[in-house]
Structure 1
């Protein structure tokens, strides 16, 4: 079948079939609908989170694209739990740690016990430790008219030949109301740290220490 198309600049293009020049057919103009998929706001926020908050994060190489996407989505869903440069972690407002005695003044003799007898060597060590933490602004001198509670200071000998000052808190624990968030027992702490990679400790004299756990530990 032979088609002929009129190439003149007419308003509508025409074409004929075979030798019939009188019967012309018009070209049908169909409007092509282009569907543009909309990107959900959540996906945009997720991509923004990956670009801004996770730009310095290193992803394990053997993760598949699906696993990496699942991790990114999980972190995005819980992003409020993480600290950022613009939004640092704030304090907890639902609870305040406090030491509340289950007795009032005058306190029991166990809480008003005098200091342990100490040798001149122990007294010298106590004064040295007090001066160190006083210079570090960990403690301060108490005025004569200030009403404060004190704990008995004890000097413990360390294996390296040095000494360490600690407070005798066993009597205080006896007369203290249990806290809403009690400190975990040692066995619970050990179980929770069994898979730890780092153990962080904070000390008044040694500051913050972050130690790497040996593989066999």
Structure 2
């Protein structure tokens, strides 16, 4: 027979066993229901939006609106990208996008020189770091250079003849970055195609 002391020891051990079992059951329930305060929740970060800073200006992202410049006696109309604004009117407007990265500029003062002569003169007069001519065909000069403040840049300049006179009527220049070339070409072509010189309203550059 167990002595009273042994009986008390057995009762104590039995109580401890039951307590451990109950504690283990509580932990299991808390883990299953998410109530365990020590439980670590691991979440995957949401993917960040794809950066478009280096994607370049895309032609299919552009919409165009007609703008009128020149003078009251000799107004000129051409289409430029919607949202691009000019801070000046007259014969030398410059339409810039809200970010200041892209622009299209018109010079409608005209010249007695031919478009080819003006292209050659411009080609030899640009004094910019890393200046490089990519092409100089069909009265259009395409070049790149490095701007100290903005980095690599690209320019496309085109001289529009005044009918069959041989003179130059308008210069159109678009500017941006080298990765914007496709969009810049689209802006230049749209401005050229929609250019309305003073006259009947149907006059187009030849």
Same fold (TM over 0.5): no
Compare relative contact order (CA 8 Å, sep 6+) and give the higher one, 1 or 2.
Answer: 2
Using structure 2 for the length normalisation, give the TM-score.
Answer: 0.25
**TM-score, normalised via structure 1 length:** 0.24
- Which is richer in strand? 2
